[in-house]
Structure 1
Amino acid sequence: MNSKGYDMAKLFSTKLTHVSPVWYDLKSDGDKLVLEGQHNYDAGWVSELQGGVSLVVPRVVLEAFPGVLLLKKKSRNKAIDLIVSECRDKGYDGVVLESWSRWAAYGVLDDPELRHLALQFVKKLGDTLHSTRLKSSTRNHLEFIYVIPAPRMQGLNKQDFGPEDLVQLADSVDGFSLMTYDFSGPQNPGPSAPLKWIRQSLTTLLPAKDSASHMIFLGINFYGNDFVLSKGGGSAITGRDFIHLLEKYKPSLQWDEKSSEHFFIYSDEGARHAVFYPTAMSLSVRLDEAREWGTGLSIWEIGQGLDYFFDIL
Structure 2
Amino acid sequence: MKFINATLQIIFLLNVCLATLSPPSDKKGQKGVKAQDGPRKNNVLDRKLVIETPLVKDIIKYHATYHQDISIRNFKNAVLGYVTPWNSKGYDVAKTWAPKFNYISPVWLQVKRQSPNIYIISGLHDVDHAWMKSVRQKGSSSNLKILPRILFENWQSSDLRAFFMEPTAHTEQQAFIEEIKKACKQWKFDGVVLEILSQIGKYVDKSVKFIQQFGLEMNEDDFKLILVYPPFRGYPTDEFFIQAFNDIHPYVEAVSVMTYDFSSPQKPGPNAPLYWMRLCVEKLVGDEENPSKCSKILLGLNFYGNSYTTNGGGPIVGTEYVELLKNAKTNQALSYNNNTAENYIEVRTSQGTKKIFYPTLYSIQKRLDLAREFGTGVAIWELGQGLDYFYDLF
CA-atom RMSD in angstroms: 1.8
Q: Distance in 1 between matches of 2:357 and 2:215?
A: 37
Matched residue, 2:343 = 262
Structure 2 counterpart SS, 1:119? helix
How far is the alpha carbon of 1:270 from its aligned partner? Answer: 6.4
Structure 2 counterpart SS, 1:101? coil
Q: Distance in 1 between matches of 2:163 and 2:131?
A: 32
Matched residue, 2:208 = 119
2:325–2:347 Cα contact (<8 Å) kept: no
Structure 2 counterpart SS, 1:152? coil
Tell me the number of residue pairs that the alignment of Structure 1 and Structure 2 aligns.
293
Matched residue, 2:266 = 187
Match status 1:67 vs 2:161: yes
Q: Distance in 1 between matches of 2:247 and 2:342?
A: 34
Matched residue, 1:97 = 194
Q: Distance in 1 between matches of 2:241 and 2:340?
A: 23
Matched residue, 1:11 = 96
Structure 1 counterpart SS, 2:336? strand
Greater Cα shift, 91-100 or 67-76? 67-76
Q: Distance in 2 between matches of 1:88 and 1:270?
A: 51
How far is the alpha carbon of 1:18 from its aligned partner? Answer: 0.5
Q: Which 5+ residue runs of structure 1 have no aligned equivalent?
A: 110-114, 133-140
1:79–1:3 Cα change, 3 Å:
same
Q: Distance in 1 between matches of 2:324 and 2:194?
A: 35
Matched residue, 1:158 = 237
1:209–1:293 Cα contact (<8 Å) kept: no
Residues 52-63 of structure 1 mapped to structure 2, 5 A cutoff? 52=140, 53-63=143-153
One-letter code aligned to 1:166: F
How far is the alpha carbon of 1:46 from its aligned partner? Answer: 1.1
1:231–1:271 Cα contact (<8 Å) kept: no
Matched residue, 1:107 = 202
Matched residue, 1:231 = 311
Structure 2 counterpart SS, 1:150? coil
One-letter code aligned to 1:108: Y
One-letter code aligned to 1:58: P
Q: Distance in 1 between matches of 2:240 and 2:254?
A: 14
Matched residue, 2:73 = none
1:160–1:30 Cα change, 3 Å:
farther
Matched residue, 2:325 = 246
1:203–1:209 Cα contact (<8 Å) kept: no
1:270–1:3 Cα change, 3 Å:
closer
Q: Distance in 1 between matches of 2:226 and 2:174?
A: 19
The one-character-per-residue Cα deviations of 1:164-193 (angstroms, maximum 9, x if unpaired) are 211211221011111111111111111111
| Percent identical | 34
One-letter code aligned to 1:44: A
Matched residue, 2:119 = 33
How far is the alpha carbon of 1:282 from its aligned partner? Answer: 0.3
2:347–2:355 Cα contact (<8 Å) kept: yes
1:58–1:95 Cα contact (<8 Å) kept: yes
Structure 2 counterpart SS, 1:20? strand
How far is the alpha carbon of 1:68 from its aligned partner? Answer: 4.1
How far is the alpha carbon of 1:14 from its aligned partner? Answer: 0.5
Structure 2 counterpart SS, 1:7? helix
Matched residue, 2:131 = 45
Q: Distance in 1 between matches of 2:271 and 2:289?
A: 24
The one-character-per-residue Cα deviations of 1:27-72 (angstroms, maximum 9, x if unpaired) are 2446553211111111111112222231101111123342243233
Q: Distance in 2 between matches of 1:50 and 1:182?
A: 31
One-letter code aligned to 1:276: F
Q: TM-score, normalised by structure 2?
A: 0.71
Matched residue, 2:48 = none
Structure with larger RCO (C-alpha < 8 A, sep 6+): 2
Counterpart of 2:108 (choices 11, 18, 23) is 23
Structure 2 counterpart SS, 1:186? coil
Match status 1:221 vs 2:306: no
One-letter code aligned to 2:210: F
Q: Distance in 1 between matches of 2:333 and 2:373?
A: 31
Matched residue, 2:368 = 287
The one-character-per-residue Cα deviations of 1:66-98 (angstroms, maximum 9, x if unpaired) are 224323333222221221111011111111111
Match status 1:131 vs 2:228: no
Greater Cα shift, 243-252 or 8-17? 243-252
Q: TM-score, normalised by structure 1?
A: 0.88
Structure 2 counterpart SS, 1:23? strand
Greater Cα shift, 203-212 or 239-248? 203-212
Structure 2 counterpart SS, 1:180? coil
How far is the alpha carbon of 1:268 from its aligned partner? Answer: 4.0
